[in-house]
Amino acid sequence: MTNNSNLAVSNPSADVDKDWWRGAVIYQIYPRSYQDSTGDGIGDLPGIVSRLPYIASLGVDAIWISPFFKSPMKDFGYDVSDYCDVDPMFGTLADFDELIAKAHGLGLKVMIDQVLSHTADSHEWFVQSRSSRDNPKADWYVWSDPKPDGTPPNNWLSIFGGPAWQWDTRREQYYLHNFLTSQPDLNFHNADVQNALLDVCRFWLDRGVDGFRLDTINFYFADKQLRDNPPLTAEERNGSIAPRVNPYNHQMHIHSKNQPENIAFLERFRALLDEYPAATSVGEVGDAQLGLELMSEYTKGDDRVHMCYSFEFLSAEKLDGERLKDIFTRLDKVDQGGWACWALTNHDIQRHTSRWSLDEKGRRAYAALMMCLRGSLCLYQGEELGLPEATIALEDLQDPYGIEFWPEFKGRDGCRTPMVWESGNKNAGFSEGKPWLPVSDEHVPLSVDAQEKENDSLLHYYRKAIEFRKGQEVLIKGAQTQPVVEGDVVSFTREHNGQKLFCAFNLGAGKASVQLPDGEWHLIAEELGACNTCDGKSAELDANQVLIAKQV
């Protein structure tokens, strides 16, 4: 672990906005693919620094940077070998300090990924843990003797395929890995493990970060008794977070994750964050069956994580009006006063433009919808450009998940290809060297410089949509009624401090009528292509058109 004893970073003053995260727009950066500053074909921290003015120009509140820590990169940074240092391919701690300073100077908060549930097998903790059964870190990971016949202790499966147990010849025991065999799971039942991870978080908070995105937040604890997971029926497997061809879908993972002990750790984590007045957190809830329930449970009150996102909006099933209504109805049933953070796409999921076969109008309609929902939201790099999923040839594939399940599932590389900055330059301005993944030919015409020149581009639309959201306090803090669905139109009302907004979205391919609630309403958001003609009671929307009205 890198020493930071000589680092003097003052904590934020007590008069900062502690609730800046509530309703915030957070921009996710996948550093390998954002901007390369050295010509090695891999994006890095100085590259991100050079692009911060662009990010600030979008109007977002914060950035979330995927892992840049030291790592063997078998899972591209989500296998950490040193939590408190920067991998040389991404730069140095000094580069990170510069990033923090420049981002804050531009009014951007900085959130970083924390992968706390597991480490790389090359991490010094695991190297010591596997060396014997009686060393000081022997119990820092989840170890188990085999069954009498030599097989693993239970039926748990890895998300990346096969059993979730790997035999270790040094200890003659199995260790748990919910992901790659090279990603052993930490034993959160050990208080020393919790303390060490909280020290890691403090290291980065002292360095000036404004919060964390917590990877696989519901995977921290495993059942102490290591009981078998029950099976799922074929019908129950629908909507799993794993691809259809993955056997992981065949179980209800009630013992390998989602354990009740997680709450106490999250409360310890929150107590640490509360020492830093402006620090926040967003957890990734990886569960198809219990995502909304866990999201609500983990964020309720003021002593757990601030917000979570689940996979409902990341599903292959299109987010039409009925699905949106169903999600918010389910959320209302389990709501405990928590806070959601919505995302349409990220570094693990096929881009929603391709996932839902959206045209240009559809991309705008969903952008506007996101800006009007109660909760915070994450945008993934290139989403503001309307990038589709890139096609990656088998010989160019890097993702071990995709390699395992090719060709039925092609992995995550298609959403991780380099950002396209300059249509006329080599590799679209991403790198002077050969990119680690190919720049998509389909992406180049959608590059930042091309869209900057077009006043009506999707990039400018995102800027307007974010500006509109930030200009309406009711969209940041207001309550939301349950969505109402009439044909292809979904609508709801936002209300705060006596102000009301009525929001309606035609998510269909044809024209549709919408009825306004009783009262007097003034149509707004014309800059978003919203309907601007109404007889006071109803209006007709074109395909993928929105209507936003403010009560007079």
Where in the sequence numbering do the catalytic residues fall? 215, 275
Q: For residue 231, is the peptide bond before it cis, meaning its omega torsion is within 30 degrees of 0?
A: no
CA distance 38 to 36: 6
Q: Which two tokens stand for residue 32?
A: 């390998």
Q: How many residues does this entry show for the chain?
A: 552
| Alpha carbon of residue 310 to chain centroid | 9
- Contacts by 486-490 with C-beta closer than 8 Å and gap 24+? 486/512, 486/514, 486/515, 487/512, 488/320, 488/321, 488/512, 489/321, 489/513, 489/514, 489/541, 490/320, 490/321, 490/324, 490/325
Closest Cα partner for 307 from 61, 54, 43, 59?
A: 61
CA distance 221 to 117: 8
E strands present in 317-395: 341-343, 376-380
CA distance 106 to 57: 9
How far CA 251 is from CA of 241, 243, 254, 257, 321, in Å, comes to 12, 13, 9, 12, 30
Helix extents (H) in 350-457: 352-355, 360-372, 400-405, 448-452
Q: Which two tokens stand for residue 448?
A: 């930042």
Beta bridge partners of 538: 515
Whether 171 and 160 have beta carbons less than 8 Å apart is answered as no
Q: Work out the number of other CB atoms within 10 angstroms of the CB of residue 5.
A: 5
Which contiguous run of DSSP H or E holds residue 469? helix 458-470
Q: Work out the number of other CB atoms within 10 angstroms of the CB of residue 449.
A: 14
CA distance 289 to 389: 26
Residue with tokens 């937040």: 217
Half-sphere exposure of 50 (CA within 13 A, CB side): 15
